[in-house]
Amino acid sequence: MANEYSTSDFRKGLRVLIDGEPYLVTESTFMKPGKGSAVYRLKLKNLVSGNVLDRTYRSGDKVEAADVEDQSVQYLYNDTAEWHFMHPESFEQYAISKDNLGDTWKYLKEETRVDVVFWNGQPITVSPPNHVELEITYCEPGAKGNTATNVKKPATVETNAEVMVPIFMNVGDVIKIDTRTGDYVERVSRA
Amino acid sequence: MNLRSILEERARILKRTRAFFDQRDYLEVETPSLCRGVLVEHTIDPYKLQDLNNGENFYLHTSPEAGMKRLLVRGSGPIYQISRVFRQGEVGEVHQPEFTLLEWYRPGWGPQELMKEVSELLEDILGVQPADKISYRDLFKNQLEIDPFTASIDNLEALVKKHSVPLPPSMPTENRDAWLELLISFVLQPDLGNDRPLFLFDYPASQAAFAQIRCEGELDFGERFEVYFQGIELCNGYHELLDPNEYRLRFEQANELRLKEGREELKLDEQFLEEMEARLPACSGVALGLDRLILLALKKQSLKEVLPLTIDDV
């Protein structure tokens, strides 16, 4: 389906095809000198490589829509090379390589629901929930009585990712992590 | 800022603007928003409406210019108007398809006197220093070391590329003004009027719109001006064209350009042209985007922050 967007459709969040690759519009600016012609400026991010582009268009220009689809799927397991997901209703399974996952693997434990962008039927990006709760599987023992949250130490969580946590944390504590920044937010439960 | 304080600021600025003009012997007027024809501009698209009963077509005005010039012909003297105007497809941080325009005309004045008055209004509303002034030609010469009146298209193109301005796919490469507009929008405009408002004046004749054209040797200047503050364009003023035949010619040229670019041809405002036969008194006039003025007064970034309701809310 070769859908096209005209300049009046331009807005942040649109997914378009440029030079055969899918891009997300991250910024759309309308510029018009008083008595001159309108120019639309798009900042775009490649949905596969993450590269950014700066493009301009005049009224009448068209941009091809990217054939992308969002689905909410469930994380199943990984074999260290690929991460496997399943659609909860169709039970269809997908594999995504670690390279394509970026940092997302750090936040995936079994049954986590993630948003996946499919392009031409292939999964290209995986977005975890904004916050996940993960159990600490290894860290130096907690410093008793030290409740300062600004003093941090590294901890390994159940996905094998490393997170900086306050010094009073212990193995078995469950912590909340902001996946957008990778930062520790709070302790959810104690060991 | 909460809604109430934005509404209060807006009301205060409107009141202060009216006081400014009342003190200077301008009369506030109102003219129709509905029109059967327009003063055709190449890049401005009016909304079209239809009478539900007899099918008659109307446009919504894109500025009150036609009505106000007809009042001037009939001897109104100095007048100003604050009106809602409508321009299709203009949506952005500082664009709304429906917005408030402040427009005024002073018979007997040239553009220099009117620029001084615009500056005084800005000093009054924004509390800024008196505006600086630079001609369109000097701005390009000083900032880009190019003469916008004589540079070849190849030179303009090279300059656009040097500044890494991405080219639109349908760039009309033979159109000098399109290259100049890219340079203004992407390279020059962001820094125009940083500390105090800055007037740009004497445009290339091809960008004169409805301003008089002055010939100086080899060069033709459109006696038009704009003012910028903190990178935002605030107004457009003319040393007004008087000859109805010249108006008709420019409307037809604009329609030709429109057709060339796939835009709809617009019906000329024949009543306006007819009334102009009795001759507009020599005058200058200017239109200023009041919502943008309020945006700058409140130090905001987007019109959405100063308009409680926008096109997205209707």
Cβ atoms of A84 and A93 within 8 Å: the answer is yes
Q: With an 8 Å Cβ cutoff, are A31 and B184 in contact?
A: no
The rounded radius of gyration (Å) of the Cα atoms in chain B is 20
pLDDT average, residue stretch B38-65: 97
* Nearest CB neighbour to A33, from listed B92, B185, B263: B185
Percent share of chain B, pLDDT over 70: 100
Residue from A10, A23, A37, A64 whose CB has the most chain B CBs within 10 Å, to mutate:
A37
Lowest mean pLDDT among A150-154, B19-23, B225-229: A150-154
pLDDT average, residue stretch B219-233: 97
For residue range A64-98, what is the model confidence (pLDDT) as tens digits? 999 888 889 999 999 988 999 998 888 989 888 88
Name the residue of chain A whose CA is nearest to B289's CA: A34
pLDDT of residue A2: 59
Cβ atoms of A136 and A155 within 8 Å: the answer is yes
Average pLDDT of chain B is 96
Residue A6 contacts B where some CB pair is shorter than 8 Å? no
For residue range B93-149, what is the model confidence (pLDDT) as tens digits? 999 999 999 999 999 999 999 999 999 999 999 999 999 999 999 999 999 999 999
pLDDT at A149 exceeding the cut of 90: no
Chain A stretch 52-71, residues whose beta carbon is closer than 8 A to a beta carbon of chain B: 54-61
Model pTM score: 0.84
Confidence of residue A33 (pLDDT cuts 50, 70, 90): confident
pLDDT at A147 exceeding the cut of 80: no
Alpha carbon distance B261, B50 (integer Å): 25
Helix (H) or strand (E) holding B253: helix B244-260
pLDDT at A1 exceeding the cut of 50: no
Confidence of residue A150 (pLDDT cuts 50, 70, 90): confident
Q: What are phi and psi of B12, to 5 degrees?
A: -65, -45
pLDDT average, residue stretch B269-296: 97
For residue range A130-144, what is the model confidence (pLDDT) as tens digits? 999 999 999 998 777
Confidence of residue A126 (pLDDT cuts 50, 70, 90): confident
Alpha carbon distance B81, B29 (integer Å): 5
Cβ atoms of B24 and B114 within 8 Å: the answer is no
pLDDT of residue B195: 95
Question: What is the four-CA torsion angle of B87, B92, B96, B100, rounded to 10 degrees?
Answer: -110
